[in-house]
Amino acid sequence: MAVTVEHRSPRQQNPQSTLIECKDVHKAFGGHSVLSGVTCSIPEGEITVIMGPSGTGKSVLLRHFVGLLIPDRGDVLVDGMSVPRMSEDELLELRRGMGMLFQDGALFSSMSLFDNVAFPLRQHTKKSEKEIREIVMDRLKEVGLAGAEKKMPNELSGGMRKRAGFARALVLQPKILLFDEPDSGLDPVRTALLCELIKEIQRKYKSTAIMISHDTKAVFEVADDVILLHDGKVVDQGSKEDIQKSDKEFTKQFIRGAVEGPLAMD
């Protein structure tokens, strides 16, 4: 990626330890503040789960990592480079190194499963159809969809659509994997299976994975690190072991699903 020197920022930690860093990130829509000074870091080569109550800015934060949203104030750095300062070409290059799985898989309804997964390869590479087929079939096999390549999205179950979206996110072998509530709408068994698949694939490709989820049981099965958001701010962050032992009242209430605590129904 051709990036000018002024985009770089000195790391505060070991160069291998932090891949994404947010510095006092603020974002508002129509006068409504969603992010109110988010400061956090995403470790490289691990699975980080972003948690918090609904409407607290988790998906908004995730979109800042890709440059789909630009902060009103503050900075977002990916691999030491300031995303808000990137040119359009640099943003496109950044996104080629990221794979994103949306809640419903975001498949094209008019395309077969094969063509959905092949789409990024046809758009962003000059690979032959033979090469594309080999890659697509390998990714489908990895996510447990071997033999389903001719099916249309409306023939797939919710879990299969999510796995298909996962396969598509993997075809460019991204350095960063982003999951926006991949377990939404799934029963506990399929949630556990999907989280196990995410963990298996992340370890295999040594990628950095960032996942938004509300399912605390699944989170603590798959996560290495956790960031907890509330009211647009980070209220706790650290390894999953640190979060589970946290003495902060909000953290204890949220991860235990307790009725009493600072989080109220309002």
Average pLDDT over the chain reads 86
Same domain as 180, residue 85: yes
The per-residue pLDDT for 103 is: 62
Same domain as 255, residue 189: yes
Same domain as 239, residue 113: no
Same domain as 254, residue 192: yes
Same domain as 25, residue 80: yes
Assigned domain for 247 exists: yes
The per-residue pLDDT for 3 is: 38
Assigned domain for 44 exists: yes
Q: Which of 146, 173, 200 is the last residue of a domain?
A: 173
- CATH number at 213 reads 3.40.50.300
Assigned domain for 264 exists: no
User: Mean per-residue pLDDT for 151-171?
Assistant: 88
Residues 145-159: b if buried by 16+ CB within 10 A, e if exposed? beebbeeebeebeeb
Least confident of 45-49, 70-74, 219-223, 231-235: 219-223
Same domain as 165, residue 74: no
The per-residue pLDDT for 104 is: 61
Same domain as 245, residue 205: yes
Domain that holds residue 239: 17-97+174-259
Digit-coded pLDDT (tens) for 3-56: 333 333 333 444 458 999 999 999 999 989 999 999 999 999 999 999 988 888
Q: pLDDT exceeding 90 applies to what percent of the chain?
A: 52
Same domain as 29, residue 154: no
pLDDT at 238 over 80: yes
Same domain as 182, residue 162: no
Cα angle 57, 61, 67 (rounded to 5 degrees) comes to 145
Assigned domain for 5 exists: no
The per-residue pLDDT for 187 is: 77
Q: To which H or E segment does residue 3 belong?
A: none
Assigned domain for 129 exists: yes
Q: Which residues share a beta bridge with 177?
A: 99, 209
E strands, 130-188, are: 176-180
pLDDT at 207 over 80: yes
Least confident of 98-102, 126-130, 186-190, 236-240: 186-190
Q: Which of 173, 200, 220 is the last residue of a domain?
A: 173
DSSP 108: -
**CA-based nearest residue to 68, from 41, 106, 100, 109:** 100
Assigned domain for 179 exists: yes
Same domain as 254, residue 179: yes
The per-residue pLDDT for 253 is: 87
Assigned domain for 49 exists: yes
Q: How many domains does the chain have?
A: 2
Residue 134 CB: number of other CB atoms within 10 A?
Answer: 12
Instruction: Indicate the pLDDT class of residue 117, thresholds 50, 70 and 90.
Output: very high
Assigned domain for 12 exists: no
Q: Which of 149, 173, 197 is the last residue of a domain?
A: 173
Higher pLDDT, 145 or 11: 145
Q: Give the tokens for residue 58.
A: 């988790």
Same domain as 187, residue 57: yes
Same domain as 119, residue 86: no
